[in-house]
Amino acid sequence: MAVGVFDSGLGGLTVLNAVTKRLPDVPFVYFGDNAHAPYGVRDANDVYNLTTAAVSRLWDEGCNLVILACNTASAAALRRMQESWIPTDKRVLGVFVPLIEALTERNWGDNSPPREVAVKNVALFATPSTVASRAFQRELAFRAIGVDVEAQACGGVVDAIEDGDMILADALVRSHVDALHRKMPNPEAAILGCTHYPLMADAFQSALGDHVKVYSQADIVAESLADYLTRHPKMIGTGITSKFLTTGDAARVSSRATQFLKRQITFEKA
């Protein structure tokens, strides 16, 4: 009855932490493609190939439902996967749609026509690849009208977080917020469009100011997943054991993950 959680690196652990707290009786298999991280600087075909390989590995673990806890994979690969690759008895869900549903105050799975919403000026902070895909704007257009989105590619932030250099990550966040402000001086809301970024949520909030509502994905995705599994209980797969898999150096990844979640995490080689 396991559910898979995939990320290119360690950022998806923020989502895993939230979903395990929300769904304590569901086993989760986490797959980090640390050997090929970060995805945010790769082209769409490369991201697609790496993502499908990882999802296939999670299916082998008995995870019929896989969460792409990676915005770059969700942006660059998910639609193509859903249109031509995923078999009918499997599901792969991204992290963009729950975030947009929260921003536009829609119920989970609401597919009614786009409508006016309260927020008009939104800042999107994401990896260069996610920004280039315009996937966030495309999904938002299905649900809301009259919203101006200004995207800021946050180069270097993921690398700094993965390396554990939070001083550099903080400086980069403030630099990217300054760059965003030059394009959109008064955002009403900000989207942290990378699952690494919740680790820097305080830095983003401080640089943006308390008047800006910052949307972070982990808890939103957890609530969306709980709702989805209530509506589709058969999508909980046959796997029964929680585990952590990585394509990288298992010892190094385990050490870094333990620092991330502040509890012992042991990865196995995928």
Report the catalytic residues.
70, 194
Please report, as a single letter, which amino acid is at residue 76. A
3-state SS assignment for residue 100: helix
CB 252 within 8 A of CB 259: no
Q: 246: exposed, middle or buried (C-beta count within 10 Å: 0-12, 13-18, 19+)? A: buried
What the block records as the tokens of 223 is 């609530």
For residues 103 and 3, give the distance between their C-alpha atoms in angstroms, rounded to a whole number.
26
Give the contacts of 135 (CB within 8 A, at least 6 positions apart): 74, 75, 76, 79, 96
For residues 71 and 216, give the distance between their C-alpha atoms in angstroms, rounded to a whole number.
12
Strands 28-32 and 3-7 turn out to be parallel
Can you point out the beta strands (E) in 41-199? 65-68, 91-93, 115-116, 121-126, 144-145, 148-153, 189-192
Give the contacts of 156 (CB within 8 A, at least 6 positions apart): 168, 172
Q: Classify 46 in phi/psi space as left (phi over 0), alpha (psi -120 to 50) or beta.
A: alpha
